[in-house]
Chain A
Amino acid sequence: MPEPAPSPGALSSGAPSPGALSSGAPSPGALSSGAPSPGALSSGAPSPGALAPGDPSSGSAPAPPRGRRPYRFDPGAVATHAVLSLGALVMVFPFLWQLLTAFKTMPEAVRVPPTILPEALNWAAFEKVFTAVPFREMLTNSLLNTAGRTLGQLVFCSLAAYAFARLQFRGKNVLFAVFLSVLMVPPQLLVLPQHEIMQQLGLLNTVPALFLPGMFSAFGTFLLRQFFLALPRELEEAARIDGAGPFRIFWSIMLPLVRPALAALAVITAMWSWNDLLWPLVVNTDPSKAPVSAGLVSLEGQFMTDYPVMMAGSVIASLPMLILYVLLQRHFVQGIALSGSKG
């Protein structure tokens, strides 16, 4: 069965062949030697099909076994549901408890035995979050940080990726090898000098300091390059004959074709940016210039044992990403299947 299933994956919708996805490979180049994640894209979770019951996944699978017993009681399925539901409960309960605690008063929260529901919808903890630390500014900082990194990566990585994939120039292979090597360096190794640079630029405790280094990503470049590589050459040639310049070709012909990859990259970058903690702690110690992740740490330092306040803070801080996830689940799953480790 050499021919892959026509991929239902959204990623391929713009790309002309399912191969486009497969060659997308997992992040670090070294891993591509047989890593399975191409399959993750073409036949896995992200597909719109995944949302329909029954998963028409690998097109090769014959239908009969499924249709054979549509309404029969199946003890195996019940047991499977039991295990999976229990697991789902474990996954979701902490968030539920977090939300419930946030609405409680402190005496209510530490009652023994604990009460499940708060006596009243008590917003005091949420108010405290905003008065104790500059949480409103922090949310804005997080937003700007996320937007800055994401836009930066989309622009810079797609430009470079296009050049690496479709243009010819001297030193390309060496340059690409250097880019790949950046991918291998653990980020902690760079934190100290990056901090120095920010200081020399006079950017410590400013919002740009949060997103500046994160705008350039080796992973993003590598990922997009794989997608550009898979596009058919005919498109470009036709455009060139029509007299379009390289930038026109890039912007109006090639870029729209890798839109699904851009979406996956955008979403995954947004997630890492929003959640990042180490770098903001290092570079912006001024609370009014810190993002919410660092804000939660200072909230913890101030309230130590006032759990309703800390839970309220966590709810607010994690809500934006959760909403984005609910809205763009597909892209999240794709981006994460593609990225592996922090980009």
Chain B
Amino acid sequence: MAVFPSTAAAEQAERRTGAGGRGGSGARSGAGAGPGTTGRGSQRIAYLFIAPIAVGFLVFYIWPLLETFWFSFTSFGAFGGNSWVGGENYGRVVQDVTVGKALGNTLLYMVMGLMTLPVAIVLADLMNRRGLRGVPVYRALYFVPFVTLPAAVGLVWNWLYNGDFGMVNEALSWIGVDGRYWVSDPSTAVYAIGLVMIWSHVGYYLIIFTAGIKAIPQEVYEAAEIDGAGPVRRFFRITVPLLSPSIFFASVICVINSLQQFDLIFVMMSPENPALGETQSVVTLFFKWAFDENSQGAAAALAFLLMLLIAALTYLQFRFQKRWVHYA
């Protein structure tokens, strides 16, 4: 019995169309497409269909990728022209203490980003309560921060976090807690930003998990209920394990996204903020090197480091998914 109707459907659909992104089967589907699609003329037409985007990719993605690689071994003249410097840029990336700091911060953002997932799972589970009214309204509201442009989100939260007049400190004072300068105190700024990240992404993961939970058949819950399992037990014994493919998907996306944090940090941290060094991410550092300090070569090297990091962490997640992800 398939626990995931949709997964089963996916397989079925793949079988039917002979597709699924795997090279060999794709060819099969085409081969049977009948006369007219295999001739020379139709080949030319196929290329015509693909030509515009292929040109775009070549110019704006593939060529730049090669170029960045070359850049990472050169030094840029401030007003044009670059010269070969060998591994010097990579040397700087390894030596510079700000890189280590930014790397640490970025990993911290990633950990905080991952904490969005449990929050979203609990919310999705709560919304899945039988007969609960108003769920679509909740879902719509939780989703609003994700739609809003990050630059605006950053400004709003800077205002809320303001140490002198912010609502966060005001709210804390009601319960007798002393406020502080959340985004300009080096010991809290990174967490303050992390909280905003969680806040603005929870709606997105909520959608993913809601869908996953919906796919769990009610019978499973009912059977557990008859066996006397309480809501907490049902959550940990049914919801979480059966949701693990969704959680896996979400965590892969989450890691990729949080390693590329830029907008919020850039907007929330002004240049005179003493917490700047404690909040800088790899991408904000990249931006500064590339467009503020004339170190495009080192910036390119840094970008490659980031790509390696993303690739490595994504690979590790896939590697270890078998340990905890239960596919039906």
Contact = CB atoms under 8 A, between A and B. Distances in A.
Given A36-B208, A88-B138, A317-B149, A277 B263 contact: yes
A132 interface: no
Contacts, number: 445
Interface string A45-88: 10000111111011011100110010000101100110110011
A326 B170 CA distance: 31
Given A169-B47, A297-B266, A179 B327 contact: no
Interface size class of A (residues with CB under 8 A): 35 or more
Interface in B256-290: 256-257, 259-260, 262-263, 266-267, 270, 283, 286-287, 290
Given A35-B248, A80-B129, A29 B21 contact: yes
Given A34-B325, A186-B310, A275-B150, A197 B60 contact: yes
B160 A318 contact: no
A62 B218 contact: yes
Interface stretch (A117-125, A215-223, A258-266): A215-223
Nearest to B264: A277
Contacts of B212: 36, 39-40
A51 to B, nearest CB: 5
Contacts of A314: 151-152, 155-156
Contacts of B136: 50-52
A292 B127 CA distance: 35
Contacts of B123: 84, 87
Interface string A159-195: 1101111111110110111111010111111111110
A197 B56 CA distance: 12
Given A159-B50, A167-B45, A188 B23 contact: no
Given A178-B62, A332-B147, A113 B303 contact: no
A186 B42 contact: no
Contacts of B207: 40, 44-45, 333, 336-337
B142 A88 contact: yes
A43 B246 CA distance: 14
Interface stretch (B63-71, B86-94, B96-104): B63-71
A166 B314 CA distance: 31
Contacts of A180: 21
Interface stretch (B4-12, B107-115, B181-189, B232-240): B4-12
Interface in B196-212: 199, 202-204, 207-208, 210-212
14 contacts: A23-B19, A26-B249, A41-B6, A53-B133, A88-B138, A95-B156, A114-B167, A164-B50, A179-B57, A186-B260, A188-B283, A278-B262, A307-B159, A315-B152
Interface of B: 1-2, 4-10, 12-14, 16-17, 19-21, 23, 26-27, 29-34, 36-38, 42-43, 45-47, 49-50, 52-54, 56-57, 59-65, 67-68, 71, 123, 126-127, 129-136, 138-153, 155-157, 159-160, 162, 164-165, 167, 170, 199, 202-204, 207-208, 210-212, 214-215, 217-219, 222, 231, 243, 245-246, 248-249, 252-253, 256-257, 259-260, 262-263, 266-267, 270, 283, 286-287, 290-291, 296, 299-300, 303-304, 306-307, 310-311, 314, 318, 325, 327
Kindly list the 9 A-B residue pairs having the minimum CB-CB distance in the complex, ordered from nearest. Answer: A19-B13, A44-B211, A40-B211, A216-B56, A39-B6, A193-B64, A314-B152, A163-B49, A168-B30
